[in-house]
Amino acid sequence: MIITNNEEALRVVCSDVLPDEVNDIIERLESELNHANFLGQNGVGLAAPQIGIAKKAAIVRVGNNNINLINCNISQGWDPAVFEGEGCLSFPGRVEKTTRFQEVLIENNLVMPNRMIITGFLAVACQHEIDHYNQKLFTDHIFKDRIKKLKPNDICGCGRLNEKTGLPFKYKKCCGKKI
């Protein structure tokens, strides 16, 4: 069963997967992902901590791409971008705008190939799942607009100067003035 809406349970410290554990964990992840999709949840990946297994394992299943992420890390990322519409099976119905790399180099020492460059949507999905076993959630990557909200004593953004002093107006005395 997939753990939902419980950040504490999802941010568990995970240990490396041992070679003799790989097949069992992959089978359990595939079973749970298939069940979620059967219920109409439309997931493309799942990580072991999401089903209560504190191991560094995850799967991504997109079309014909079946990626097993066992003891992987992202050693490099390129082209950070805003990704519209990232969701998570552990937070049903929640969709966020996130920042993710468009291309990543994934490395591991257990499963071949041991170095992969992944791009596009697959890169986003792999980052998401690897984050799960590194105690991170997609909510940690929510895009925050860089537009600063002005406070009353900040200098007004319009640039208008006080005729008497030659200094810029404070926001509360200019564009923020209550009418």
Residues recognised as catalytic: 129
Q: Which of these, 146, 147, 61, 77, lies nearest to 117 by C-alpha position? A: 77
- What is the DSSP pairing of strand 115-119 with strand 95-107? antiparallel
* Residue 25: Cβ-neighbour burial (10 angstroms; 0-12, 13-18, 19+): buried
Are the CB atoms for 162 and 168 separated by under 8 Å? Answer: yes
- The token duo for 11 is 């941010």
Return the half-sphere exposure (C-beta side, CA atoms, 13 A cut-off) of residue 125. 22
Q: Which of these, 12, 43, 48, 11, lies nearest to 29 by C-alpha position? A: 48
What is the longest distance spanned by two Cα atoms in the chain? 79
Q: Which of these, 70, 62, 72, 64, lies nearest to 26 by C-alpha position? A: 70
